[in-house]
Amino acid sequence: MATHTVLQITDLHLKTPRAATMLGINTEAFFLQTLRHALDAHPRCDLLLLTGDLAQDPCQEVYLRIRQHLEKTGLPCLCLPGNHDDFELMQQNLSGGQIVCERTFQLGAWSIIVLHSQQADSQTGTLAQAELQFLRETLEHNAHRPTLIAVHHHCIATGSPWMDSMQIDNSAAFLQLLAEYPQVKLVTCGHVHQEFARKFGTISLFGTPSSCFQFAPQSHQYALDNLPPGYRLFSLVDDGTFATECRRVPLDMRDLDPKAPGY
């Protein structure tokens, strides 16, 4: 049975100029080391899935730099926007060749559906009525394909109230819709900068560490964790089963400034 390897890398938060740091670390250097670590460990990767907050400073220069880095991998890359991104600039400067910002992607028997959850001038997620309609229609047309949903914001509480105030504000409607379609196997998100796994009925819900700094789990207020960057590996089997795990990249976190505001 064919198995497809997907590497999810998320929340790169690249800045301009290239040497700029965020919370004490150079996010571009961390992204590159995360990418290298992931590809060294999984050279037969079928898809790189980048789930938002690719840019902290969304501008042409940043997206072109990300494009250069991704092009060097020679791998298909599926990119979606987070609350810090500018989707129009992503389409203009990042998309092209093997790098796509599409809403659907087929990988063997699997269907990947990309949802956009960002809303203007807000860090909180939402799924507009048009997104839910697109989701329903796509699920109707792909009833026999096991499905992975990729979206930037989380749709279930992580246990950190400050973070959960930013989750998809109509998560209940979203999850109820998914529950109508048994082909939906899992939802994976960025945004939370930490590893988590929950279940909603038969559907698995995952959060993935950032390629730069991490947020402390189960924290009432904003707080950083000193765990190193990470990424998530998915092995998607054509019979609809899957396996997943997070991997950490052994990077030196001594420069992380836990007192700095500004996320």
State the residues that interact with Fe ion by CB under 5 A: 11, 53
Question: Least CB distance from residue 175 to Fe ion, whole Å?
Answer: 22
What is the C-alpha to C-alpha distance for residues 72 and 164, in angstroms, rounded to an integer?
36
For Fe ion, the closer of residues 52 and 76 by Cβ is: 52
Question: Least CB distance from residue 115 to Fe ion, whole Å?
Answer: 17
Residues 6+ apart with CB under 8 A from 115: 80, 103, 127, 131, 134, 135, 149, 150, 151
For Fe ion, the closer of residues 46 and 53 by Cβ is: 53
CB 44 within 8 A of CB 87: no
Left, alpha or beta for 97 (phi > 0: left; psi -120 to 50: alpha)? left
Question: Least CB distance from residue 194 to Fe ion, whole Å?
Answer: 11
What is the C-alpha to C-alpha distance for residues 221 and 182, in angstroms, rounded to an integer?
36
User: What value does the CA radius of gyration of the chain take, rounded to a whole number of Å?
Assistant: 17
| DSSP classification of residue 48 | E
